[in-house]
Structure 1
Amino acid sequence: MRVAARGTDPASPQRMASSLELALLYLVAAVLSVAACRSLKLPPMLGYLAAGVLIGPNALALARDSVGVQYLAEFGVVFLMFVIGLEFNLPKLRSMRTLVFGLGLSQVSLTIAATVAGNALLAWVFSMAGKSWGLGWQSAIALGAALAMSSTAIVVKMMAERIELETPHGRRVMGVLLFQDLAVVPLLVLIPALGESAGDMTRALLFAGLKAAVLLTLLLVGGQRVMRWWLTLVARGRSEELFILNLLLVTLGLAWLTEHAGLSLALGAFIAGMLIAETEYKHQVETDIRPFHDVLLGLFFITIGMKLDWRAIWDQWMVVAAMTVLPVLFKFGLVTLLARVFGAPAGVALRTGLYLAQAGEFGFVLLALATQSQLLPERLQSPVLASMVLSMLATPLLIVYSNRIVMRLAASDWLLQSVALTSIATKSIHAEAHVIICGYGRSGQNLAQLLSTEQIPTSRSTSTPTACARPRRPARTWCSATRRGCRA
Structure 2
Amino acid sequence: MPETFLEVGIAFAGIALASLVAAQLRFPSIPLLIVAGILLGPAVMSAVDELRLMQVFAGFGIVLILFFLGLEFSVGDLLSGARRKVLNGLLDFAINFSLGLAVGLLLLDLSPLGALFVAGIVYISSSGLIARLIFELQRAARVETGLILSILVFEDLVIAGYLAVLSSVSGGTEEAASFLQPALALGIVAATIGTARFISRGAQRLLERIVSDELFVVAIFAALVLVAGLAEMVHISSAIGALLLGLILAETGHVERIEQRLRPVHDIFAGVFFLHFGLTIRLENIQAVLAAAAVAAIISILGKTATGLLAGRIAGLSFPASLTAGLTLIPRGEFSIVLAALAVSAGLSPLIGSFTAVYILILAVAGSLLARESLRIAAWVESLRRPKGNTTSG
Relative to 1, partners in 2 of residues 1:92 and 1:204: Cα closer, same or farther, differing over 3 Å? Answer: closer
Superposition deviation, residue 104 in structure 1: 3.5
TM normalised by structure 1 equals 0.64
8 Å Cα contact 1:108-1:145 kept in structure 2: no
1:358 counterpart (329, 332, 357) = 332
**2:209 is equivalent to residue 230 of structure 1:** no
**2:182 is equivalent to residue 209 of structure 1:** no
Relative to 1, partners in 2 of residues 1:91 and 1:211: Cα closer, same or farther, differing over 3 Å? Answer: closer
Relative to 1, partners in 2 of residues 1:400 and 1:188: Cα closer, same or farther, differing over 3 Å? Answer: same
Superposition deviation, residue 230 in structure 1: 0.8
8 Å Cα contact 1:53-1:59 kept in structure 2: yes
Relative to 1, partners in 2 of residues 1:112 and 1:351: Cα closer, same or farther, differing over 3 Å? Answer: closer
8 Å Cα contact 2:64-2:266 kept in structure 1: yes
Which amino acid counterpart does residue 178 of structure 1 have in structure 2? L
Superposition deviation, residue 109 in structure 1: 5.0
8 Å Cα contact 2:285-2:354 kept in structure 1: yes
Q: In structure 1, what is the equivalent of residue 155 of structure 2?
A: 176
8 Å Cα contact 2:224-2:242 kept in structure 1: yes
* TM-superposition CA deviations, 1:18-46 (whole Å, max 9, x none): 1x112210222223333333334434444
Relative to 1, partners in 2 of residues 1:83 and 1:212: Cα closer, same or farther, differing over 3 Å? Answer: closer
Q: In structure 2, what is the equivalent of residue 328 of structure 1?
A: 300
1:276 counterpart (240, 243, 249) = 249
8 Å Cα contact 2:201-2:252 kept in structure 1: no
Q: In structure 2, what is the equivalent of residue 385 of structure 1?
A: 353
Relative to 1, partners in 2 of residues 1:98 and 1:75: Cα closer, same or farther, differing over 3 Å? Answer: farther
Q: In structure 2, what is the equivalent of residue 147 of structure 1?
A: 122
* TM-superposition CA deviations, 1:129-160 (whole Å, max 9, x none): xxxx9766565445434433444565556667
> Aligned with 1:286: secondary structure?
helix
Superposition deviation, residue 412 in structure 1: 9.4
8 Å Cα contact 2:286-2:358 kept in structure 1: no
Which amino acid counterpart does residue 187 of structure 2 have in structure 1? L
Which amino acid counterpart does residue 231 of structure 1 have in structure 2? L
Q: In structure 2, what is the equivalent of residue 89 of structure 1?
A: 74
Which amino acid counterpart does residue 122 of structure 2 have in structure 1? L
* CA–CA distance in structure 1, aligned partners of residues 48 and 372 of structure 2: 38
Q: Which has the larger radius of gyration?
A: 1
Map residues 6-25 of structure 1 onto 2, 5 A cutoff: 17-18=3-4, 20-25=5-10
Relative to 1, partners in 2 of residues 1:282 and 1:334: Cα closer, same or farther, differing over 3 Å? Answer: same
8 Å Cα contact 1:45-1:301 kept in structure 2: yes
* TM-superposition CA deviations, 1:390-435 (whole Å, max 9, x none): 2222444345434443123322999xxxxxxxxxxxxxxxxxxxxx
Map residues 105-184 of structure 1 onto 2, 5 A cutoff: 105-108=90-93, 110-114=95-99, 140-151=115-126, 154-155=129-130, 167-168=145-146, 169-184=148-163
Unaligned ranges ≥5, structure 2 = 383-394
Superposition deviation, residue 299 in structure 1: 1.5
2:222 counterpart (249, 271, 278) = 249
Superposition deviation, residue 305 in structure 1: 2.8
* TM-superposition CA deviations, 1:164-195 (whole Å, max 9, x none): 789422343233223212221123334567x9
* CA–CA distance in structure 2, aligned partners of residues 262 and 344 of structure 1: 44
* CA–CA distance in structure 2, aligned partners of residues 357 and 52 of structure 1: 20
Relative to 1, partners in 2 of residues 1:149 and 1:316: Cα closer, same or farther, differing over 3 Å? Answer: closer
Which amino acid counterpart does residue 300 of structure 2 have in structure 1? V
8 Å Cα contact 1:104-1:175 kept in structure 2: yes
Relative to 1, partners in 2 of residues 1:366 and 1:225: Cα closer, same or farther, differing over 3 Å? Answer: same
Which amino acid counterpart does residue 253 of structure 2 have in structure 1? E
Which amino acid counterpart does residue 209 of structure 1 have in structure 2? L
8 Å Cα contact 2:66-2:239 kept in structure 1: yes
* CA–CA distance in structure 2, aligned partners of residues 37 and 119 of structure 1: 31
More helix per residue: 1 or 2?
2
Q: In structure 1, what is the equivalent of residue 167 of structure 2?
A: 188
Q: In structure 1, what is the equivalent of residue 61 of structure 2?
A: 76
* CA–CA distance in structure 1, aligned partners of residues 314 and 56 of structure 2: 37
* CA–CA distance in structure 2, aligned partners of residues 251 and 397 of structure 1: 34
Which amino acid counterpart does residue 337 of structure 2 have in structure 1? E
8 Å Cα contact 2:40-2:48 kept in structure 1: yes
> Aligned with 1:411: secondary structure?
helix
Relative to 1, partners in 2 of residues 1:353 and 1:49: Cα closer, same or farther, differing over 3 Å? Answer: same
8 Å Cα contact 1:52-1:303 kept in structure 2: yes
Superposition deviation, residue 204 in structure 1: 4.6
> Aligned with 1:358: secondary structure?
coil
**2:37 is equivalent to residue 60 of structure 1:** no
8 Å Cα contact 2:85-2:150 kept in structure 1: no
> Aligned with 2:43: secondary structure?
coil
* CA–CA distance in structure 2, aligned partners of residues 227 and 338 of structure 1: 42
Further displaced range: 174-183 or 148-157 = 148-157
Relative to 1, partners in 2 of residues 1:354 and 1:266: Cα closer, same or farther, differing over 3 Å? Answer: farther
Higher relative CO (Cα under 8 Å, sequence separation at least 6) belongs to 2
* CA–CA distance in structure 2, aligned partners of residues 370 and 334 of structure 1: 33
* CA–CA distance in structure 2, aligned partners of residues 251 and 282 of structure 1: 14
Unaligned ranges ≥5, structure 1 = 5-16, 124-132, 415-488
Q: Identity of aligned pairs, percent?
A: 20
